[in-house]
Amino acid sequence: MLDLIIVDDHPIVLAGLTQLFRQEAGVRVVASCVNGVEALEAVRLHRPDALLLDINMPKLDGFGVLRALASERSPVAVVVLTADADASDVAAARAAGARGIVLKELSPRHVVDCVRLVYSGSEWVEFIGRPRDAASTSPRAVSQSPETFGLTPREMELTALVVSGLKNRDVATRLGISEGTAKLHLYNVYKKLGVANRVELVLRARSAGWTDA
């Protein structure tokens, strides 16, 4: 059983997320909080497995909660939930101990998949950052093969499908995996190739001759 605490200062969002996870098999929502102070108190009381944490909140924001949990060496798996984040926010959240970062604009199923994967020990960073500097797309870099970048056979297969224009849902169906797992693989591909989004991935693949498209 996955014990979960949900934290968001918007009552409608908090109620919706709480209802969503209460309908999930194997998940128990042990507390719902509207600010960071309540969140810390709830974590100390319930010792949950996972914490779904909003960043922008009154009294104590998500970063403050993360720092406090880190200082207490709390083992809780934290997923940051945010409406918007830039590269510095993502870096700060990960440095403070967040294992997952998911955007509020995504589907409820996506949020559930993220929490489950992070609880299982994986990392999930949904944010797609700003373009890298010119060095990341230098001729020397793009001339390398997928294997040179350490892509696994599954990641190479997924990359080919993404470059062909398939959406994540279709990629997942083609590979026989969940959409959440496809997202996780795609994030790993981005990280290994040093690209920020699908457009950069396509350009990298085409420049390197990985596709005839």
What are the residue boundaries of the structural domains of the chain, listed by start?
A: 2-125, 134-207
Is the pLDDT at 143 greater than 60? The verdict is no
> For position 64, what pLDDT does the model report?
93
Evaluate if residue 65 carries a pLDDT over 90. yes
Residues 6 or more apart from 19 whose CB is under 8 A from it? none
Most confident of 26-35, 119-128, 188-197: 26-35
**Residue whose C-alpha is closest to residue 45's, from 35, 63, 67, 30:** 30
Q: How many CA atoms lie within 13 A of 100 on its CB side?
A: 31
Element (H, E) at 174: helix 168-175
The pTM assigned to this predicted structure is 0.62
Q: Following CA atoms 20, 21, 24, 27 in sequence, which dihedral angle do they give, to the nearest 10 degrees?
A: -170
pLDDT at 86: 61
More confident residue, 124 or 157: 157
Tell me if 116 sits within 8 A of 2, measured CB to CB: yes
Per the model's pLDDT, the better-predicted residue between 59 and 142 turns out to be: 59
Of 35-39, 116-120, 196-200, where does the model show the most confidence?
Answer: 35-39
Cα Rg, the chain, nearest whole Å: 19
pLDDT at 213: 45
Q: What confidence score (pLDDT) does residue 207 get?
A: 61
Task: Return the minimum-mean-pLDDT range out of 89-93, 135-139, 185-189, 190-194.
Answer: 135-139
What fold is seen in the domain 2-125? Rossmann fold (3.40.50)
Angle at 58 (CA atoms; ends 71, 30), nearest 5 degrees:
65
- Structure tokens of 85? 């984040």
Architecture of domain 134-207: Orthogonal Bundle (1.10)
pLDDT digits (tens, 9 = 90+) for 99-120: 888 877 777 887 888 898 889 8
pLDDT of the residue at 151: 78
**Averaged pLDDT for residues 162-173:** 86
107, 91 contact by CB (below 8 A):
no
Question: Taken in order 103, 108, 110, 113, is the CA torsion positive or negative?
Answer: positive
| pLDDT surpassing 70 at residue 146 | no
